[in-house]
Amino acid sequence: MIDFNDAAAVEVTPVGRCELAVSRITDVLRDPAAVAALGLAQSYARDEGSFYPGVRAPVPLDFATSLRAWLGRILQCEFTRATSYFSVVTTPSADLLPIQRIPHYDSTDPGLSAAVIYLCDSRFGGTSFYRHRKTGFEAITEANRKNYQLALDNELRLYGPPKREYVNGDTPLFERIYSAALRFNSAIVYPGRMLHAGNIPPVFTAPLSKDEWRLTVTSLLVAEKVPAAGAL
């Protein structure tokens, strides 16, 4: 049985001009080493339906169910659906597609949140959030999605695609507005519409062994009611 810690500490930070709430949670799992071992033992494959720059494996159903219920209690928000995966970044910088070299958003749905549980140590880097310099957008919604895409497409035509490296800090097109450090057995939860990227070394090579894995549990969660600012 996988036990989540109901006494975990939560720190909520309003991020950017929009002050969207990013929640950092410490001491997530009661036995994180066992869950990390479970993740290392899975069979992984590329998720062809997404642009995730690595490999994934489904988490056990009871884990996903417990995670959804636990996050709801911790963050005082009722999540109705969740999809969760063990995830490992493996794509070398040289093989990144242009869309994988800039910050991204998961969905324009205001009821969707993303969560990352870190099952690796701090040398692998946490998660950062960004503002698009041209438009000032920090989160992509149905109202601004077309304008963002038009502005971004125009910039890429003018200046060419970004360098073949992971984004990890300020770039000519994007400004980093907040960075959440990685800590083993911690988690970060944020609105899926925020522009974000993992803090992967810009020049990255594929890990040669599991000791070099940036192992995480990544989840997308849907709430019937949009979380209030300051709560999530």
pLDDT 10s digits, 61-77: 889 899 999 999 999 98
Pairing type for strands 45-46 and 127-132 reads: unpaired
Pairwise CA distance, residues 111 & 153, whole Å? 27
Q: What pTM did the predictor assign?
A: 0.93
Pairwise CA distance, residues 187 & 20, whole Å? 17
Q: Give the SS3 label for residue 219.
A: strand
DSSP secondary structure, 192-213, as one string: TTB-EEE---SS----SSGGG-
Mean pLDDT of the chain: 93
Task: Tell me the average pLDDT across 115-141.
Answer: 95
Residue 187 binned pLDDT confidence (cut-offs 50, 70, 90): very high
Task: Tell me the average pLDDT across 95-123.
Answer: 95
Task: Tell me the average pLDDT across 162-176.
Answer: 96
For the chain, give every domain's residue range. Answer: 9-222
Q: In whole angstroms, how far apart are CA 160 and each of 98, 147, 175, 206?
A: 10, 19, 18, 26
Whole-number pLDDT of residue 221: 95
Whole-number pLDDT of residue 124: 87
Pairwise CA distance, residues 114 & 195, whole Å? 12
CATH of domain 9-222: 2.60.120
Q: Give the SS3 label for residue 105.
A: coil
* 92 residue type, one letter: P
Cβ atoms 34, 51 nearer than 8 A: no
Other Cβ atoms closer than 10 A to 149? 11
- Mean pLDDT lowest among 2-16, 93-107, 116-130, 216-230: 216-230
